[in-house]
Structure 1
């Protein structure tokens, strides 16, 4: 039998976590709601005290809320940012005890067994928690008990209340189960505990009795603390200051070996590295290296630091070096075989070298796009943050060089026998076509508002291979591309 009295659990519930996070840097006294699209409707996700006092509530349609409260302010909700904020609060809560876990998306649970006396007693600890959170502008309800279920129930339905007098909602049951229990006349935890267990198990399954036993301490419920994320940073303190670029590179090599070993242990690779060099006068300089692909090979990363290290002003000397992987990505181990004839990372290393000079965003590549319009059949993306694709899916070949349509003086439905283009007199040798391309009616494009185009591949006797088109609705000829 599990003895629940051996433990002391504290539950922190932040009923307005999202709105408190938003209002922290920008406080306001007026009503504010955060909205989120749910079930094809924009509904209230979280609200502050002023909005709640106007009769608004969570899940209310935003259009109805505006009708009730004309001066209502709104902002879009960001559940991911709220979870990151809760993660910060979890790290803060480890000052009270080492065992801290998440309780849903708006709460924390702390196992303070054996640590409350460090802050005086349990009441003093909870009072200090409440004061610090209030000073930070966070609304919190705190419950404590011998079990996790009891602490959660008091945090949500009455701090310091007797557990048996709380409603059955406090057992963390689903809404339909709570409704069914209330219809049976079981409205409190005490009434549920005094009821025969067999009929409850047959009707509701094991969940109701499990939650009841967990709250009363008859069944254990563990708290799983979140593991701290790995910190990819290494440091070196030098006995004597250094100032030569070669010495800095030698120290960087030693730091890289240690950092890459840590990355390898976690199957990760660095995308952004920051080398911090602290001088003896207290000033520090950073050398940032952004990689085109995640890496953890010291031999490939070290030469990329040379340009940045050469520009460092060492002053009277550097006495401390710190290397940190600011941004990392998963990099699982790869199977190496004898059939591998080339290194696919050589192109990425070249992109990184060029990117250190002109910026990684300025090294770009063409990617295919899902459109039959020539001007929209590709997109341009930074090569370091995109992957090459196999190619364009088209039934007919496209020119290697594409430019804005250039008109030529010609008439007729077929390509002209003689015409002038870019001050050159050309004569048609062979023409292949037409390929009719219609505009995409769902997109607005001024260049294609004139209607359809009939494209031709024209090989001239002078050696030019042109991509030309004819517009039937406004009889005209244009040149738009050149084949290789």
Structure 2
């Protein structure tokens, strides 16, 4: 069943201004001013300006008098639209093959089959909100069964995310205001005059009298919101992308037929890539059905590729997920991400050469939804900061770990608290209790002192950890540390934690 994500960007205009000028201080209030003839009014205000009492529609002179230090910027709808399109193209490359601009302040994504790559709907939405916040964009994110419901819920919430469970659209939207139904403002005002306040009240009213007065658009929006009428998402496309399409006079639906035409599209796409000296890293197959709905399949490669057989295999391994419904009328293959790829000289030797290239395995695992990556060293003594993730097929990293003490093969995601009996300040534990099991320490080595990094956080200026390698009666070895030097309370809490496990 289709799931749709709506991303609402309430402060797009002011966020764009702030991102364009890094010298603007975070506490600086910003208002975007629109004008028509001699009239000037507030078209958008950021959180700091709204806190001071500014509201959209307020005369610019009044806003300036109300807030003396207000930064006023002329409205630029064209720049806002261009920024929103860039954000949509960025989101398409990260989250879903089907992304479109939703009005002037949002995006809509079809995430069918994509949430499992992010660990489920809740982690996916949280990740979307966090990523937008990290890029300096305020976002409200909602997921529902339909575009209309997700659009309304994203604009109704005050928190960052909301999930409308499957089949729960009626309960989620019935009390929302009419303005979230995506109707012209004149229609919404007339409905309010008639006494309608919420979407639920309007949806439960006989349709015929409303259609006579307001036309079919009102009923269509209600049906789209409740899923009675489909509302296809027309995905955004960049003119720079290479795209090949096959239209069918008669709809197709058999798996063999789909695979046959997918293979032909791959050949066409590779031909275009070869002419431009490119290799594809990410390819989307857009399936357009007779009923107007779309389905998408994404295939990625660890390195630029234009091998017809390999790209065809990556898609054929996943075409079984295509639900043709009443038939497919168009297939489109799009090279979403491509890079320069030079021709390689193949050996003419009749003897098979050793091939230790693991990128095919990386491609297969990655397209099955597994996150494949490598760990690269980082110059830091703090264990959890001494590595970072890089692409699985990235170039070799010259930097290596340099430690006088051995490190465990498994580092816990976060240190786990343990109960310990130990003499301070320098003695290892005599025993420790972890996850309900008490272990007697047979031998130990340490302490290895790790100092905090004051240049990362000022609170770490005096912080230290004392690490011990301990072995219990069963021969298992663990990496424990005490927070603090065991003497001065200002260096740490003196509590004990387990941080890793040795092989």
Give the TM-score normalised by structure 1. Answer: 0.48
Larger-Rg structure: 1
